Amino acid sequence: MIEQHYNLLEEPKTGLASGPFKESQYMGRLGSSALSHLSRCSHFREFRAETPIFKQGEHLDCVLVVFEGAVSSSIEFGSNGSLWLFVTGPGEIIDLGLLNNPPASPVTAQALCNVKTLAIPRQCLLQELAKEPVVEFEIMQRQNERFSLIQRLVEKQRDKSTIPSSPN
């Protein structure tokens, strides 16, 4: 992983005022003062293709927003393998489990190609979301949708593993 720390507002091609972050379904709706605050506390993290970004159950300190590339998320079943869930692309938050308390990821995330993310410290983002209750509510709804999807897929996987296969 490569980390770059600099003032994102001074970067016209990748700053928060433009690009995937500004076009993001949630982050793009934050005001200029929120974007200014987030730019001062955030930094980029880059991941090479096929490398893990974080593991299921890992404590997370930052919200990662994809700037470039694509990230797959899956859920691990111990020795029984894993189940692919979804792909996250530019402008999207990789894992919404960070908004939980404690902030642990319910999924494992892996870079599908070279990925550039914006790492926003959890407290910094929560501070700004508290000022934007509509955006915070929409993110919480999205988080709930993802957790429901994960729960349904896990239950389906459990059902498959407990139902004996019919002899043919």
Q: Is the pLDDT of residue 102 over 60?
A: yes
pLDDT single digits (tens) 16-75: 655 666 666 666 677 777 777 777 888 889 999 999 999 988 888 888 888 899 999 988
DSSP labels, 5-16:
-S-GGG-TTTST
Q: 43-70 in b/e burial notation, b at 16+ Cβ within 10 A? A: bbbbbeeeeebbebebebebbbbbbbbb
**pLDDT for position 59:** 85
The model's confidence at residue 149, banded by pLDDT at 50, 70 and 90, is confident
Q: Which two tokens stand for residue 1?
A: 């992983």
**pLDDT for position 50:** 94
What size, in residues, is the chain? 168
**pLDDT for position 99:** 64
The model's confidence at residue 162, banded by pLDDT at 50, 70 and 90, is low
Q: Which two tokens stand for residue 112?
A: 């599908």
Say yes or no: domain 2-162 is CATH 2.60.120.10.
yes
Q: Is the pLDDT of residue 110 over 90?
A: yes
**pLDDT for position 71:** 95
DSSP labels, 15-32:
STTSHHHHHSTTGGGS-H
pLDDT single digits (tens) 121-142: 888 888 888 887 777 777 777 7
Please tell me whether the overall predicted TM-score, pTM, comes out greater than 0.75 for this model: no
Q: Is the pLDDT of residue 9 over 50?
A: no
Q: Which two tokens stand for residue 35?
A: 């974007």
Q: Is the pLDDT of residue 13 over 60?
A: no
Q: Is the pLDDT of residue 166 over 60?
A: no
Share of the chain above pLDDT 90, in %: 12
